């Protein structure tokens, strides 16, 4: 006799912060092509349920995640964190340095890697395999049977995801149990922020790599049935029932999504301004991290130039630590509690495109060794295309002697 799935889901979900909406979406705007362009997803499995997660998980796990995540070869590799409903460990136990964590690395249409992260949170992938996996994407791997449905239930990031996303997960699990679908056919996960709070509930499907939005608990039976429906020759690219919820597809640029949408639905492409209109400032910043690498140039105390490719969205401190620049220690991890990421940013050849210095940063710079009027803390400066352009025109980030 098959055990009840509900007996394994040990975490009790808190009540919604506001009454759940009906089938009406949070936003009236159209969904097609609002997905952020992403080449692949690395999904780290956590033993802690989403209500215990902080709003920004990478800020806590960043130091122990694979160096691959910051490698210029994989600028649009997206890192997500997921919980399958089993286990209820405290959040502090979700640190890979305390216990091994499993992960899945999805590349469009196939799963390239699944296994356990090393004790220090790194992918056990050899350096010479990196280009094959990330750039060429031509390493074949056995594809696990069945479907993985990742629903954003990251309530600490946005209450809409926690409320309607969590309710959708509960309904999906109920339907899986009611229909007697075995786990090897469908696996339901709660996942961290997918982007587009206004489109909650959002769900990422693998192996099809489709991102869906505006889902409600009432859509659970429809979603499950569409995964196992007989192919429809009239809708070979996206199941007909999923067209109203389609946001995009992993592995495609925005332009490729538009072409795909027209071919799949027969509808005209969506206007380009839709994405900018719908994303808040935090999400727009997040989308910048999906862009390609930019070149940043450091100048050491001895006058040597260090040129490197950086990922849009990472801080200059993170970049310096990755390069093992001796003067860039960043002991506090970038939370303005030390001055060990001290650097110099001169207004040449023109004022650098960086945020204005805050009172907190200025106070902390008092602790820097031999500060100058051009001193900044690298943890407060993010890599942007504009910063790369400034470096290309002669701008340099100077490093102190110590």
Instruction: Please tell me whether residue 152 adopts helix, strand or coil conformation.
Output: strand
User: Cα(46)–Cα(61) distance, rounded to whole angstroms?
Assistant: 11
pTM over 0.75: no
* More confident position, 360 or 285: 360
d(CA 100, CA 45): 10
The pLDDT score that the predictor gives to residue 6 is: 37
**C-alpha separations of 209 from 110, 247, 251, 266 in Å:** 9, 11, 8, 20
The distance in angstroms from the start CA to the end CA of the chain is: 67
- pLDDT above 50 (res 12): no
Q: Where does 155-261 show beta strands of DSSP type E?
A: 186-191, 203-206, 210-212, 246-249
Mean pLDDT of the chain: 76
Confidence of residue 212 (pLDDT cuts 50, 70, 90): very high
pLDDT of residue 379: 93
Residue 272's pLDDT band (cuts 50, 70, 90): low
Give the residue-averaged pLDDT of 36-53. Answer: 81
Mean pLDDT of 170-188: 91
- Of 84, 81, 71, the C-alpha closest to 125 is 71
CATH fold of 5-277? Glutaredoxin (3.40.30)
Residue 64 has pLDDT above 60, yes or no: no
pLDDT at 134: 43
pLDDT higher than threshold 50 for residue 16: no
Report pLDDT digits (tens) over 217-228.
Answer: 999 999 999 888
Residue 300 has pLDDT above 80, yes or no: yes
Length of the chain: 402
Residues β-bridged to residue 9: 86
The winner for highest mean pLDDT among 79-93, 185-199, 337-351 is: 337-351
State the pLDDT confidence band at 59, using cuts at 50, 70 and 90: very low
Is the confidence at residue 213, as pLDDT, over 70?
A: yes
DSSP-derived letter for residue 315 is B
Is the pLDDT at 281 greater than 70, yes or no? no
pLDDT the model gives residue 345: 95
* Structural domain spans, the chain: 5-277, 294-398
Residue 109, classed as helix, strand or coil, is coil
Q: HSE-up of 366 (CA within 13 Å, CB side)? A: 5
Q: Are 5-277 and 294-398 in the same CATH fold? A: no
Would you tell me how many other CB atoms lie within 10 Å of the CB of residue 272? 11
pLDDT, tens digit, for every residue of 243-262? Answer: 889 998 887 877 888 888 88
Question: Check: CATH 3.90.1150.10 for 294-398?
Answer: no
How much is the pLDDT for 108?
72
């Amino acid at each position: 006799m098959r055990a009840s799935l509900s007996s394994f889901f040990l975490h009790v979900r808190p009540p919604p912060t506001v009454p759940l909406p009906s089938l009406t979406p949070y936003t009236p705007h159209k969904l097609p092509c609002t997905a952020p362009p992403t080449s692949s997803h690395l999904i780290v499995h956590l033993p802690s349920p989403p209500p215990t997660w902080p709003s920004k998980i990478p800020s806590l796990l960043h130091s122990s995640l694979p160096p691959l995540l910051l490698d210029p070869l994989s600028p649009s590799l997206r890192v997500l964190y997921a919980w399958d409903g089993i286990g209820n460990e405290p959040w502090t136990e979700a640190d890979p340095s305390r216990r091994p964590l499993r992960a899945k690395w999805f590349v469009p249409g196939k799963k390239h890697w699944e296994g356990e992260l090393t004790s220090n949170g790194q992918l056990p992938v050899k350096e010479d395999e990196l280009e094959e996996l990330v750039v060429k994407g031509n390493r074949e791997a056995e594809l696990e049977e069945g479907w993985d449905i990742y629903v954003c239930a990251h309530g600490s990031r946005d209450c809409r995801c926690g409320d309607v996303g969590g309710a959708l997960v509960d309904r999906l699990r109920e339907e899986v149990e009611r229909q007697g679908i075995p786990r090897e056919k469908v696996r339901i996960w709660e996942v961290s922020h997918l982007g587009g709070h206004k489109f909650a509930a959002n769900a990422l499907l693998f192996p099809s790599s489709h991102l869906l939005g505006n889902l409600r608990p009432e859509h659970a039976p429809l979603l499950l049935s569409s995964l196992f429906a007989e192919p429809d020759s009239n809708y070979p690219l996206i199941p007909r029932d999923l067209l109203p919820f389609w946001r995009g597809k992993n592995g495609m640029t925005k332009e490729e999504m538009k072409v795909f949408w027209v071919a799949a639905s027969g509808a005209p492409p969506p206007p380009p301004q839709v994405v900018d209109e719908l994303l808040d400032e935090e999400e727009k910043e997040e989308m910048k991290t999906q862009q390609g690498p930019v070149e940043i140039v450091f100048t050491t105390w001895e006058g040597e130039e260090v040129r490197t490719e950086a990922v849009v969205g990472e801080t200059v401190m993170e970049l310096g630590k990755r390069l093992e620049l001796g003067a860039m220690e960043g002991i506090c991890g970038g939370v303005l509690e030390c001055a060990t990421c001290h650097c110099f940013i001169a207004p040449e050849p023109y004022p650098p495109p960086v945020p204005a210095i805050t009172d907190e940063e200025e106070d902390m710079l008092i602790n820097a060794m031999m500060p100058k009027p051009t001193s900044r803390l690298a943890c407060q400066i993010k890599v942007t295309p504009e910063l790369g352009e400034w470096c290309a025109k002669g701008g340099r980030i100077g490093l102190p002697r110590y």
